[in-house]
Structure 1
Amino acid sequence: MRDLHLPGRSTVHARNGMCATSHPLAALAAVDVLRRGGNAYDAAVAASAVLCVVEPMSTGVGGDCFVLAAPGGGNRLIGLNGSGRAPRAADAAALRAEGMETISIDSIHSVTVPGAVDAWERLIAAHGTMALGDLLAPAIAHAEEGFPVSPRVARDWKLGEARLRRQAGGADVLLPGGAAPACGDIVRFPRLARTLRAIAEKGRAGFYEGEVAQSMVAFLRAHGGVHTLDDFAATEATWVEPVRTSYRGYQLAELPPNGHGVTALMMLKTLEGFDLAALDPSGADRIHLEAEAARLAFDVRDGHVADPDFAAVPMDHLLSDRLADEMRARIDMERAMTGIAPFTGPIYRDTVYVSVVDRDLNAVSFINSIYFQFGSGFADPGTGVNFQNRGAGFRLEEGHPNVLQGGKRPLHTIIPAMLMQDGRAVMCYGVMGGAYQPVGHVHVATNIVDYGMDVQEAIDHARSFHVAGRLELERGIDDHVADQLAAKGHPIGRPDNPWGGGQAIWIDHARGALIGGSDPRKDGAALGW
């Protein structure tokens, strides 16, 4: 139990259902659905829709989602990939001919077709119990009637203000009153409310066809995009088989590529050969091991992970004991590795995550995102939709597995997770925050498995991430530990913002209870009944 003399959060305990997410209004919407007889799938969609209104810098209907679920809390898992594809006319050679070497996060070519709305409908049709229109009602109400801006949301909104002014439609749609709102301000999104109503009334057709789709496509093409109505109409989320690896009597389950959940699995397989429990959980050796395992896994990820519809992804190799042994052999406990390319992808800490477990123990791990802060920054004034920039995850090098191609899905960073033990789901969780996510999955899982932390302690615990050639340490990591890491050869930095956020629900099968935690780095909460 935590020291009650010190600031902190207690775990949340309930019997009949629980939601943990990054905003209290979304958690409340989910619990309301559960209390009205809906299940965890229904509740997750309701929460996600609210987050698309109240956290517009992190998610939206112009983005993507992924779902990993354990029906009845059992061993059978289901996965849904709701990531959108590049327009059919997208062409890497054409962009190279224009002098582009990468796809900028601010480029219209970074806008992939949104996949979230189709995934919502597909999930509810297959596993939900309530009408999609009923589940969107709370989000519509917040968009029409207004919602008060919470502290972390206000901070992130202000950080994105200058960029929104540069992007077409960004200021019009996302800077109400001409400026980023302050904490406590009431914000309304009437145009987004109309779009949500169209989805509520017509389902996916209200978004991917008709007036809403026509407005979005016209906007994108007017600003240089090659998107078509056919691209939107053809959007289809796909059911996928989750992948797993074992770790000290547990299994971690992730979704397969084009997401990079396999990065977390590679890290765990590497770390299993070290006695983490013998190390100080906040000490230099533990942080060093985690960083080195991540650097190796990201290096492998960047060479192999792509859309399996377009490239052969060698999953057997990536999850092999041989690769784990090779990676482990490269780690020196006294010195940071040299000769490995640093991860240099876009650094952001947005995205939203929803964990829901209902009274029947259906466990739903659900993540929704527009990628970078406010996505591409492009927003259609006709519909109130701000578009993701997932296309920045593509490469432009000819022959690379993740090269941009028409109809292809990019390497994707948002990853829901599920921890299993003895053939049952025991923790439904996720750690948002861009490329940091697989590191966060491993950090939280090892906090629990190796160090015996509860879910709230595991989420609270200070984080680090080796990125752009530096080991960036949150301020919760002591200066003397930073000095020890520097002595091992790690260039040290201190990030302005913390690494991501996270939520988790632990399923206590023996006592029939749910135990939730929510990240203090965000504004959210775990709520149960």
Structure 2
Amino acid sequence: MLITKKKFLQVMEEVEPGLMTGSDTVYFCVIDSQGNACSFVNSTYMGFGSGLVPKDCGFSLQNRGASFSLHRGHVNCVAGWKRPFHTIIPALLTDSATTSEKPVLLAALGVMGALMQPQGHVQVLLNMLEFGMNPQQALDAPRVYVQYDHTTEQWSVNLEEGVGQEVAEELRRRGHKVNWPITGHKRSQFGRGQIITVGDWWNPSVNQTDPPSRVLWAGSDPRADGCAIGY
């Protein structure tokens, strides 16, 4: 069947938008046998990014510049030598309180998910530091997402399923707007992360005076595709 260009364009004008793409953010971390580490976030931002593909390359360029403001005098107004507001924050955790000349690597970690990223970093890190969770447990634990609605100019506290009802009720008693429980696909707002730790420094039963372990521990977030692999 042959179709003319004019007819094709007429058909396409009647096509309703279907699946909306996300921000396509990917995080991964790697630590090799020599202790070299990489903590990496890639995000094309807003669907397929800028839509520009370098010649003979199989990827599109990101369009984080969309986060700039075009209003003159605005602190985030586009200009030379400036970077747009973003939340891309892959992390390396180190310990400088050692006798060695260089800080000691403790972990490579990261949590994706827009404004949840800094909140997710803090929560999974505290899960290990304060509650003695291993990397996988730290990622599995239910999370809290403090969100600001620019339309209503209100703050809300989103609590993932697994957080106790008594916590939600106490926060409401203190005057917070609380959404609980967040279930199903809506849990994606709590981000997705990966962690590799060097040793089990997060384990409260470990004698900190013993020589530090070099065994690698890894975890992968159950809220998205991912896996922890040893080699």
TM-score, structure 2 as length reference: 0.70
Unaligned segments of structure 2, at least 5 residues: 1-16, 150-154, 200-210
- CA spacing shift, 1:379–1:349, aligned 2, 3 Å: closer
The equivalent residue for 1:432 is 112
Summarize deviations over 1:236-287 as a string: whole Å, max 9, x none: xxxxxxxxxxxxxxxxxxxxxxxxxxxxxxxxxxxxxxxxxxxxxxxxxxxx
SS in 1 for 2:176: coil
Question: In the alignment, what sits opposite 2:165?
Answer: 479
Residue in 2 aligned with 1:504?
195
> Could you tell me how far apart the structure 2 residues matched to 1:445 and 1:506 are?
11
How far apart are residue 387 of structure 1 and its match?
Answer: 4.8
Provide Cα deviations, 1:496-527, integer angstroms capped at 9, x if missing partner. Answer: 13311111111027233111111111121110
Which amino acid in structure 2 is aligned with residue 471 of structure 1?
Answer: V
Contact 1:349 1:432 in 2 (8 A): no
Measure the CA separation in 2 of the matches of 1:420 and 1:384.
35
Structure with bigger helix share is 1
Q: Deviations over 1:64-97 (max 9, x none)?
A: xxxxxxxxxxxxxxxxxxxxxxxxxxxxxxxxxx
Give 1:420 deviation, angstroms: 1.5
Secondary structure of the residue aligned to 2:195 is strand
Counterpart residue type for residue 497 of structure 1: R
- 1:256-275 aligned within 5 A: none
| RMSD after superposition | 2.6
The amino acid that maps onto 2:88 is I
Deviation at residue 408 of structure 1 after TM alignment: 3.7
Matched residue SS, 2:166: helix
- Return the letter of the residue paired with 2:170: Q
User: Out of 146, 155, 163, which is 2:20 matched to?
Assistant: 163
| Mapped partners of 1:465, 1:375: distance in 2 | 26
1:451 aligned residue: 131
Query: 2:222 is matched by which residue type in structure 1?
Result: P
- Structure 2 vs 1, CA of residues 511 and 466 (structure 1 numbering), >3 Å: closer, same or farther? closer
Q: Which runs of 5+ in 1 are unaligned?
A: 1-159, 165-347
CA distance in 2, matches of 1:161, 1:417: 35
Q: Distance in 1 between matches of 2:170 and 2:111?
A: 27
Q: Which residue does 2:218 correspond to in 1? A: 516
- CA–CA distance in 2 between the matches of 1:392 and 1:163? 18
Q: Counterpart amino acid of 1:478?
A: G
Q: Which amino acid aligns with 2:44?
A: I
Q: Measure, in 1, the Cα distance between the counterparts of 2:158 and 2:25.
A: 20
- When residues 387 and 479 of structure 1 are mapped into structure 2, their CA distance, relative to the original with a 3 A threshold, is farther
- TM-score for the superposition, normalised by structure 1: 0.32
Q: Which has the higher contact order (CA 8 A, sep 6+)?
A: 1
Deviations 1:277-321 (A, max 9, x none): xxxxxxxxxxxxxxxxxxxxxxxxxxxxxxxxxxxxxxxxxxxxx
- State the partner residue of 1:287: none
Return the alpha-carbon distance in structure 2 between the equivalents of residues 375 and 438 of structure 1.
24
- For residues 130-169 of structure 1, the aligned pairs below 5 Å read 161-163=18-20
Residue 84 of structure 2 corresponds to residue 410 of structure 1: yes
Bigger strand fraction: 2
* Other-structure match for 1:361: 35
Question: In structure 2, do the counterparts of structure 1 residues 420 and 385 end up closer, same or farther at CA, with 3 Å as the change threshold?
Answer: closer
8 Å CA contact retained: 1:350, 1:432: no
Answer yes or no: is 1:464 the counterpart of 2:144.
yes
Contact 1:460–1:520 (CA under 8 A) maintained in structure 2:
yes
Which residue identity does 2:187 align to in structure 1? Answer: N
Whole-angstrom distance in 2 between the partners of 1:365 and 1:516: 13
Separation in 2, partners of 1:350, 1:485: 33
1:489 aligns with 2:169: no
Tell me, what secondary structure is at the counterpart of 1:352? strand
Number of residues of Structure 1 aligned to a counterpart in Structure 2 = 185
| Residue-by-residue CA offset, 1:373-426 (whole Å, 9 max, x unaligned) | x2448476x976445331232123322332112564212211111112233011
Instruction: Give the SS at the match of 2:229.
Output: strand
Give per-residue Cα distances to partners, 1:158-189, cap 9 Å, x unaligned. Answer: xx94436xxxxxxxxxxxxxxxxxxxxxxxxx
